[in-house]
Amino acid sequence: MDAFALTPPEWTQKAVHAYGFCCPNCRASSLEASQVWINRRSPVLTEDHRRKWQEFYNCQCGCAWWGWSSDRPPSNLTSQQDADLE
């Protein structure tokens, strides 16, 4: 599965919007998803002219969900990389 494929996988058709950026069924984080697809063909511009994308996740529990890239919580990996740069 290529997260950046141009064609959406079939499982994304049944995805629901998860407002907490986790699986709405079992509350698992996006890092625990078995499949990921990012809709890079249709970015949305925010009020401050930044792009955001729909990120689709197929959870291990079988629930497909999506959230906006701008709603994704900060990653420990990003924080560590930022700290290494200082």
Give the pLDDT confidence of 43-74 residue by residue, as tens digits: 899 899 999 999 999 999 999 999 999 999 88
Provide the mean pLDDT of the chain: 87
**Structural domain containing residue 69:** 10-85
Residue 34 covered by a domain: yes
Confidence at residue 75, expressed as pLDDT on a 0 to 100 scale: 76
Residue 25 confidence class, pLDDT cut points 50, 70, 90 = very high
CA distances from 78 to 25, 83, 85 (A): 27, 9, 11
Task: Provide φ and ψ at 42, rounded to 5°.
Answer: -130, 70
Q: What is the CA radius of gyration of the chain?
A: 14
Whether 69 contacts 55, CB under 8 Å? yes
pLDDT band at 86 (very low <50, low <70, confident <90, very high): very low
Instruction: Evaluate whether residue 4 is within a structural domain.
Output: no
The number of domains in the chain is 1
**CA diameter of the chain:** 43
Q: Is residue 36 part of a domain?
A: yes
10 pLDDT higher than 50: yes
Residue 59 included in any domain: yes
Any domain includes 2 = no
